[in-house]
């Protein structure tokens, strides 16, 4: 399993406070030490940092904690390997291009017996179930809209159709962004909150660090934060319901859908084994 962190804002915002707490989970307060990654959008493009070291020890993670990159859309991931080796090719987030924008995806969960039919437009580089799911999502969007870039409501609507078909294979908590909005989906574990004017103080769960955002933020700042587990212990986090898809834009919750996930039953036992079980 892994942990996810996302941020969607009205104005370019520094994620350092949240990332400091989050990256403690890569070996200090939790054992998600098999690689990490973070993507910062600037308009249609993003800067992606991935690493197969722990986010606690990685010099690049340290550099990012000391030199903040402001962004309106950020997705970060710390990995505890379940499927796929600890290699760069298996480090989330994954980046692809669609309709002349970078798209970023990160997944927490484990999909079983998942083998989507991919037409070659997007193929996985690594060996994770996560990247397979990402290719299937982008192929699904492209199949539906061709070369005509849809608006965010249309994208959200297709994601709400596609997500439960993938979630039928197991645990599927994910974040996806094209630099305009951040979409987040949960089957088991994801939380969100929105910080807005007048900002207040926050204290991290994973280290004894607090910040008073009211000293730094301006009235038009507005920040949605989404994380596998709440990052702070003195703010009100809302848990996603199972099958819930949310879409955040400019720090506002803009889109909400409740999908219905029906887990695909594991293959039935072979006849011989079944006969034996019945005999016992």
Known catalytic residues are 2
Q: Which stretch binds a second copy (CB under 8 A): 15-23, 99-107, 250-258, 266-274?
A: 99-107
Write the secondary structure of 73-130 as one string of H (helix), E (strand) and C (coil): EEEEEEECCCCCCCCHHHCCCEEEEECCEEEEEEEEEEECCCCCCCCCCCCCCCCCHH
CB 30, min distance to a second copy, A: 24
Instruction: Give the CB-side neighbour count of residue 242, counting CA atoms within 13 A.
Output: 10
121 sits near a second copy (criterion: CB under 8 A) = yes
CB 271, min distance to a second copy, A: 37
* Whole-number Å distance between alpha carbons of 246 and 182: 8
Contact characters 8-47, a second copy, x per CB under 8 A:
----------------------------------xxxxxx
Contact characters 74-93, a second copy, x per CB under 8 A:
-------------xxx-x--
Chain positions 155 to 174 lying near a second copy, rule: CB under 8 A, are none
247 sits near a second copy (criterion: CB under 8 A) = no
Question: Left if phi > 0, otherwise alpha if psi is -120 to 50, otherwise beta: which for 215?
Answer: alpha
* Whole-number Å distance between alpha carbons of 189 and 238: 11
115 sits near a second copy (criterion: CB under 8 A) = no
Contact characters 50-69, a second copy, x per CB under 8 A:
xxx------xx-xx--xx--
Q: Rounded to an integer, what is the distance from CA 15 to the centroid of its chain? A: 15
> For 52, which DSSP code?
S
143 sits near a second copy (criterion: CB under 8 A) = no
Q: Note whether 5 and 77 are within 8 A (CB).
A: yes
What is the contact surface with a second copy in residues (CB under 8 A)? 42-52, 59-60, 62-63, 66-67, 87-89, 91, 95-97, 99-102, 119-126, 146-147
């Amino acid at each position: 399993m892994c942990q996810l962190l996302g941020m969607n804002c009205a104005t370019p915002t520094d994620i350092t406070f949240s990332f400091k707490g989050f990256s403690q989970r890569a070996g200090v307060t939790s054992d998600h030490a098999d690689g990490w990654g973070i993507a910062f959008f600037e308009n249609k493009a993003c800067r992606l940092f991935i690493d197969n070291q722990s986010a606690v020890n990685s010099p690049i993670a340290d550099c990012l904690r000391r030199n903040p990159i402001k962004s309106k859309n950020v997705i970060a991931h710390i990995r505890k390997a379940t499927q796929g080796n600890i290699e760069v090719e298996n480090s989330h987030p994954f980046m692809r291009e669609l309709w002349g924008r970078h798209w970023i995806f990160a997944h927490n969960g484990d999909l079983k017996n998942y083998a989507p039919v991919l037409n070659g437009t997007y193929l996985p580089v690594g060996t994770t179930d996560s990247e397979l799911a990402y290719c299937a999502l982008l192929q699904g969007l492209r199949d539906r809209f061709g070369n005509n870039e849809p608006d965010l409501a249309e994208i959200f609507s297709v994601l709400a159709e596609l997500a439960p078909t993938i979630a039928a294979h197991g645990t599927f908590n994910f974040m996806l962004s094209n630099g305009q909005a951040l979409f987040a989906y949960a089957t088991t574990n994801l939380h969100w909150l929105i910080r807005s004017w007048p900002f207040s103080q926050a204290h991290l769960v994973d280290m004894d660090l607090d910040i008073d955002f009211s000293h730094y933020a301006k009235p038009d700042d507005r920040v949605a934060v989404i994380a596998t587990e709440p990052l702070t212990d003195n703010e009100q986090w809302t848990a996603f319901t199972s099958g819930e898809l949310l879409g955040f834009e400019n720090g506002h919750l803009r889109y909400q859908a409740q999908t219905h996930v029906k887990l695909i039953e594991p293959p039935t036992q072979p006849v011989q084994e079944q006969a034996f079980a019945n005999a016992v």
